[in-house]
Amino acid sequence: MKFDQMYQSDELVLSVEIFPPKTEKGVRLLFEELEHIKRHQPAFISVTYGAGGSTRQRTLDLVKAVRHRIDIETVPHLTCVGASQSDLSTFLDDAEAQGAENIVALRGDPPKGETVFRPAADGFGHANELVAFIRQRTDFGIAVAGYPEGHQECKDWQKDIAYLKQKVDAGADLVLTQLFYDNTAFFRFREAAVQAGIHVPIVPGILPIVKFKQVQRITALCGATIPDQLTTRLIAYPDDSHDQKEAGLAYAVEQCQELLDDDVPGLHIFSLNNGHITSRLVNALSDYF
């Protein structure tokens, strides 16, 4: 089923993001974790595309394996990093051959050690160009990234919204947001997006905090902030302890409840391949899903 159909009804849409493990053992463990996720019948599972296209084949292989083994719509991510138009076309053809009906279209980050994004020869410099390219060639449902706190390269978050509008105008059906922990940032972003004429579903991206130090590293990279009151709740416990994990999960439940009470179309959970925590979060939200 395509994105536009998934979000058509009033029912909340649950989606979960996973990444392709590097080893066979990692894949085996991921499928054990996916058993927890499968119980909740998410509308789709999306599979990330590694920095610099490093997981190109693994992304496609995992899309195929998840689709066949657990029969849930599985959506590959695709970035412009190091990719010519011909590389992008090949990826789209392969994804289509594997039964994909949707795609998450991204520009990607500059490779390690570089601060400025440089498009590949004959490639694209921004995600709106990739969206237009996909729309021209395929029938895929297309999701793009949105940034409640602004993108790290764009100092003016309102300008970032104008760029988001370009992605939607180029043919995106859906916005999946970057992770955030302060719902007021999301509400402000959503309001500004609607005012800018963005009328596709805007789905909050949620990363439950299991290991605080790990999430601090992720937020430092993507420019999201961790509110002081959340930090205070988490640092009351040793890093990576059971109590810290429980505190992180409790915050995620409260955060999601507030979002779901405020008319979001669904949740996109960044699982970091942890099916158990994802499942506990969704179980705690059983009044909604």
Ligand X SMILES: Cc1cc2nc3c(=O)[nH]c(=O)nc-3n(C[C@H](O)[C@H](O)[C@H](O)COP(=O)(O)OP(=O)(O)OC[C@H]3O[C@@H](n4cnc5c(N)ncnc54)[C@H](O)[C@@H]3O)c2cc1C
Residues that bind ligand X (CB under 6 A): 48-49, 51, 77, 79, 104, 106-109, 126-128, 145, 151, 153-154, 160, 163, 166-167, 176-178, 205
* 247 or 269: CB nearest ligand X: 269
> CA dihedral defined by 61, 65, 71, 77, rounded to 10 degrees?
-30
* 63 or 247: CB nearest ligand X: 63
Least Å distance, CB 269 to ligand X, is: 11
- Contacts of residue 113, defined as CB under 8 A and 6 or more positions apart, other chains included, come to none
Least Å distance, CB 253 to ligand X, is: 21
| Cα–Cα distance for residue pair 274/18, rounded to 1 Å | 9
Q: Are 247 and 236 in contact (CB under 8 A)?
A: yes
* 58 or 151: CB nearest ligand X: 151
Q: Does the annotation mark 191 as catalytic? A: no
Residue of 17, 73, 129, 149 with catalytic role: 17
Least Å distance, CB 232 to ligand X, is: 27
Helix axis angle, 85-97 to 127-137, nearest 10°? 50
Strands (E), the chain: 13-18, 44-47, 74-79, 102-106, 141-146, 174-179, 202-206, 266-270
Strands (E), 31-117: 44-47, 74-79, 102-106
- In angstroms and rounded to an integer, the radius of gyration of the C-alpha atoms of the chain is 18
* 38 or 107: CB nearest ligand X: 107
Least Å distance, CB 121 to ligand X, is: 18
Active site residues: 17
